[in-house]
Homo-oligomer: A and B are copies of this chain.
């Protein structure tokens, strides 16, 4: 299966900037697979994710030709990039006009999950979709799954939240404050005015390194699993350096901050002020069937939180991914066993 071209959907509404009177006309980067007449499934990207690496194990056939959980012969698949994710409108590709010599990236507006979901729903409608058969996301994608189910209860029949939550917890919020502090206080952030020729490399490197131990579990380190991560690393230091300091650290600093802000502010109760922050009330507004798959050892989104959230769904199923890969267990880049566990549940859930 060849990779479809990336296209862009330009949204008529504009995102207001909190830091300047400028506005930005937002664009979504997306790809589609399959026939628009088939049941539609939308998969949004996660933090640090791009269209290329967004849960491909769910819809790309195996090398042995085996059928994936979501075959493009049966479903119309839409993969959409997060605002701030460097392909859709983001600080790095949408400099807001300011006086030279600054890039203007720092003036990109803050973006909410609602901004993302509104755009995605308009995109789906523009492609002829009347109702989504399913909406499937990992991490920030899983948070978006809860958000679309709450914001557009009649537009989505099923949602799957893998290693995500309906509301960012106080702990998760505080976790993200660490990498953020590393970045904004770094030597080359320059109060946000770094330039293309002098990017904020040390800041994003520190950001990546400080996020790494949150993404995995104590047991993962005990088993020295860096030996089987990615290409297989000879040492923990190599893993931290290549996968995190240089890997995640290759992102644009303002793109990371933009995504982080969306994540930190994630909370479905904000959209129904009459619920007064009572998460159980807002969760009960969801009409879609839900499949919620936390990782057993996830430090961002512990399974206890997912267990509590599922209790308040009218039709929710909880399946814990039994893995030592922490948060990463949900993204498909951990082990074949983790992927198979997710594929099995997704396949069954899509035909319920």
Contact = CB atoms under 8 A, between A and B. Distances in A.
Contacts of A209: 177-178, 181
Given A171-B218, A218-B304, A222-B170, A202 B178 contact: no
Contacts of A245: 181
Determine how many copies of this chain the complex contains. Answer: 2
A206 interface: yes
B187 A221 contact: no
A228 to B, nearest CB: 14
Contact of A189 (B171, B181, B187): B187
A213 interface: yes
A185 B190 CA distance: 12
A38 to B, nearest CB: 40
Contact of A170 (B169, B211, B221): B221
Interface string A93-115: 00000000000000000000000
A222 B177 contact: no
A325 to B, nearest CB: 13
Contacts of A222: 169-171
B169 A218 contact: yes
A217 interface: yes
Contacts of A182: 178, 181-182, 185-186, 206, 210
A229 interface: no
A239 to B, nearest CB: 9
Contacts of A177: 209-210, 212-213, 240
Contacts of A206: 178, 181-182, 185
A37 interface: no
Interface string A215-246: 01110111010000000000010001000010
A221 B169 contact: yes
Contacts of A179: 178, 210
Given A187-B185, A187-B187, A218-B171, A210 B210 contact: yes
Q: Which 10 A-B pairs have the closest CB atoms?
A: A178-B210, A170-B221, A182-B182, A181-B206, A171-B221, A174-B213, A185-B202, A181-B209, A185-B206, A171-B218
Given A181-B245, A185-B205, 17 more contacts: A169-B218, A170-B221, A170-B224, A171-B218, A171-B221, A171-B222, A173-B221, A178-B179, A178-B206, A178-B210, A182-B206, A182-B210, A186-B186, A187-B189, A218-B304, A218-B305, A299-B299
